[in-house]
Structure 1
Amino acid sequence: MRTLLDLILATDCAGCGAVGVGWCAECAATLARPPVRVRPRIDPGVPCWALGPYAGPARRAVLAVKERGRRDVAEPLGLALAEGLTRLRDGERPLVLIPAPSRRAAARRRGGDPVVRTALVAARWLPDCRVVPMLRVWWGVRDSVGLTVRERQHNMRGRVMARPGGAVVPEIPANAEVVLVDDVLTTGATVRESVRALGRTGVPVRAVLVTCSA
């Protein structure tokens, strides 16, 4: 039945275009390596890690999600994220994933927030892990494509908001290991404002993990 559906729907690999599978084993292998420490130009104040560079299959997969509406790609990307988190996490503590915020207009255009969708898949593979999508961007934030480092920094400054922490967010245990997750890390402007917003509400971020680093 899957083979018949693939033929009817013309399923192709989001990473290389191979026909017959949504994400092939060769492309999956490019994200199966240990996460790499990266240092964005705008320092968020916490360690940043990436599953790989913003190139090749990973880049094409992210673009397939954003530009072609490939919701199915959340499954393999979420699994890769879970494998990376397994290598980084402290197994003695509960893990909380907080997706970086997306503009509401962009999320509506893509049929939902792809970062949240990927994080939810990752959490299903990890014991004692939950996703808390508590960040949002305020009005006036522009699409960051084409902006310089300074323009991105100005675009995001003070425009990431978080729900209050503490008792208002009971899903975050006091001893939780909090990781901010995103699809692409470019200048670091978004993650820095996200870390700041969470810190103001009493939620300390241990690290940032992204699918790709540009």
Structure 2
Amino acid sequence: MNLAEDARDLFLPAACASCRSAPAAGSGLCPDCAAELTALRPLLAAPLHDAVPVVAAGPYEGTLAHALNEYKERARRELAPAFGALLGRALAVVAEEVPGAVLVPIPPTRAALRARGFDHVAAACAGIPGNAAEIRPCLRALPRPDSVGLTPRQRALAAKRSLRAAPRRTAALAAAGRPVVLVDDVVTTGATLAAAAAALREAGLRVPAAISVAAA
């Protein structure tokens, strides 16, 4: 973010969240970049922590990486439906194996929520077309250090300490026997998803799969 970009956004139509050169349509992306996202195909992620299989909508590179960074760091909320569409494709890959599943987004810490002004993962989930699955915020996030610069072991420990299951919300799901599909924006080492799966399993839930917008 810089003064030139801020001034342009104030007085000119918003630029594409990915290429930053062409004007954006209502989706936050120019037609070319939107077409690149549409062309992505889901892939099976290979995180270091494989406590739960993860299907990502695409690799964390190029158009997808640029758009995700704008979404998170510049609060480009208009991108939520585009990421919802991508999550919908990832969900379709696992849907037959997890009938009746609910989506549980990875929650932001309070600091991240204040900085961004919105829950970016939950907003992307809400953008999944056709109400493909019910969304249940069953996790709570405690303060945690920035993962940049941490070793895989340190990331795993920080993630484990920072996620807790919400007892009342998980109890109802456990009683109903409904499985859970975790949702995150980017999977790297998989430490966060592994910690989330562990917390929910301790609360009596079955967590057979996870989906993400991108895999790094």
TM-score range, shorter chain: 0.7 to 0.9
Shift of 1:168: 3.7
| CA distance in 1: counterparts of 2:137 and 2:64, whole angstroms | 23
SS in structure 1 opposite 2:184?
Answer: strand
Shift of 1:47: 0.9
Change over 3 Å in CA distance of 1:80–1:198 after alignment to 2: same
The answer as to 2:42 corresponding to 1:35 is: yes
Q: 1:14–1:64: 8 Å Cα contact kept in structure 2?
A: yes
Which residues of structure 2 form unaligned runs of 5+?
1-8
TM norm structure 2: 0.83
From 81, 86, 92, the counterpart of 1:80: 86
**Percent identity, aligned pairs only?**
38
Code of the residue aligned with 1:208 in structure 2: it is A
Q: Deviations over 1:110-156 (max 9, x none)?
A: 1111001111111x5234x21111112224x1111222212212222
| CA distance in 2: counterparts of 1:118 and 1:92, whole angstroms | 20
Q: 1:96–1:132: 8 Å Cα contact kept in structure 2?
A: yes
| CA distance in 1: counterparts of 2:188 and 2:102, whole angstroms | 23
Shift of 1:99: 0.4
Aligned pairs (5 A) from 1:111-190? 111-122=117-128, 124-127=129-132, 129-139=133-143, 141-164=144-167, 168-169=171-172, 174-190=176-192
Code of the residue aligned with 2:207 in structure 1: it is V
Q: Deviations over 1:184-209 (max 9, x none)?
A: 11111111100000101111112111
Two-structure CA RMSD over aligned residues (Å): 2.5
| CA distance in 2: counterparts of 1:190 and 1:92, whole angstroms | 21
Q: 2:18–2:29: 8 Å Cα contact kept in structure 1?
A: yes
Q: 2:49–2:194: 8 Å Cα contact kept in structure 1?
A: yes
Code of the residue aligned with 1:206 in structure 2: it is P
Change over 3 Å in CA distance of 1:177–1:199 after alignment to 2: closer
The answer as to 2:130 corresponding to 1:101 is: no
Q: 1:78–1:119: 8 Å Cα contact kept in structure 2?
A: yes
Once the two structures are overlaid, the 10-residue window that deviates more, 9-18 or 86-95, is 86-95
Shift of 1:158: 3.3
Give the aligned partner of residue 3 of structure 1.
none
Once the two structures are overlaid, the 10-residue window that deviates more, 129-138 or 109-118, is 129-138
Q: 1:47–1:208: 8 Å Cα contact kept in structure 2?
A: yes
Code of the residue aligned with 1:181 in structure 2: it is V
Shift of 1:50: 0.9
Change over 3 Å in CA distance of 1:8–1:177 after alignment to 2: farther
Shift of 1:8: 6.0
Once the two structures are overlaid, the 10-residue window that deviates more, 54-63 or 175-184, is 175-184
